[in-house]
Amino acid sequence: MYEQECPWEEDNSCLGCECTNRGTMNCMDCDLEGLFCQSCFIHVYKWLPFHRPLEWHDGQFQRRSLADLGYQLFRRRMFPASMSRPRTAFTFRLLKLFHMLNHVARTTQWDFVGTLHRLTDNVNPKGTPNIYKTFKEVQRQWRVVRAWKCAGVMEPSLPREEGSLVLGCVSCPLPGINLDEDWEKHKHTYVTIILNDRLC
């Protein structure tokens, strides 16, 4: 048991296949028989973002954050719930699923989060952490970021023209886009119709 609390040797080599660095990293959630160096640890654990790393420092293992080691949530397709000190993140896949269900099936955020609670623990769904408020805020941010992406905005802090995030209506006649060059000769055939459902 003592051997699990400290490295076996003072000069521990990294568990990485071709790495010659000294191993200093371990994981609280895995049963490793040795240590990784920081770069190999990030390489191995890049698909395990919820594992808790430990670093051998000053004669003891100390808790480390994957963010401290250079791990980026956005690169792993996770949207953080907070931009300053995120403790919760939602996968892009989950946000895309809700976005589609909201448009097609009119699923509300409340119903979607309730479904997640029941998928996590159907016997006691109220025993799971309440993420409704957090999910609501992240979903709003997700829609804005998606609108930026669709509009080709690379730097949101730069000034934009008014209406630059709005997608044009493909059924409305737009000169230079979906009208012939001589459309003014036949103006009466091209009419914009505005209905009560306000699709245009």
Task: Report the candidate in 15, 37, 10 with the shortest Cα–Cα distance to residue 25.
Answer: 37
Range 150-174 average pLDDT: 78
Let me know the angle formed at the C-alpha of 118 by 114 and 124, rounded to the nearest 5 degrees.
Answer: 110
pLDDT confidence of residue 132: 94
pLDDT confidence of residue 2: 59
Please provide the DSSP assignment of 117-177 as one string: HHHH-SS-GGGS---HHHHHHHHHHHHHHHHHHHHT-S-TTS---TTTTSPPPTTS--TTT
Confidence (pTM): 0.60
Contact between residue 38 and residue 14 where contact means Cβ atoms under 8 Å apart: no
Residue 195 confidence (pLDDT) above 90: no
Q: To the nearest 5 percent, what fractions of the chain are helix, strand and coil?
A: 35, 10, 55
Contact between residue 98 and residue 139 where contact means Cβ atoms under 8 Å apart: yes
Average pLDDT of the chain to the nearest whole number: 81
pLDDT, one tens digit per residue, over 93-130 is 999 999 999 999 999 999 999 999 999 888 888 888 89
Range 137-157 average pLDDT: 86
pLDDT, one tens digit per residue, over 44-95 is 887 787 788 888 888 788 888 777 777 777 877 888 888 777 778 898 999 9
List residues bridging with 57 in a β-sheet.
60
pLDDT confidence of residue 134: 92
Residue 197 confidence (pLDDT) above 60: no
For residue 28, give every residue at least 6 positions away whose Cβ sits within 8 Å of its Cβ, in sequence order, or none: 51, 52, 53, 54, 63
Share of the chain above pLDDT 90, in %: 20
Residue 131 confidence (pLDDT) above 80: yes
Contact between residue 117 and residue 125 where contact means Cβ atoms under 8 Å apart: yes
pLDDT confidence of residue 3: 60
pLDDT confidence of residue 11: 59
Range 139-157 average pLDDT: 85
Reading the block at residue 176, the tokens are 């230079």
* Distance separating alpha carbons of residues 14 and 5, to the nearest angstrom: 17
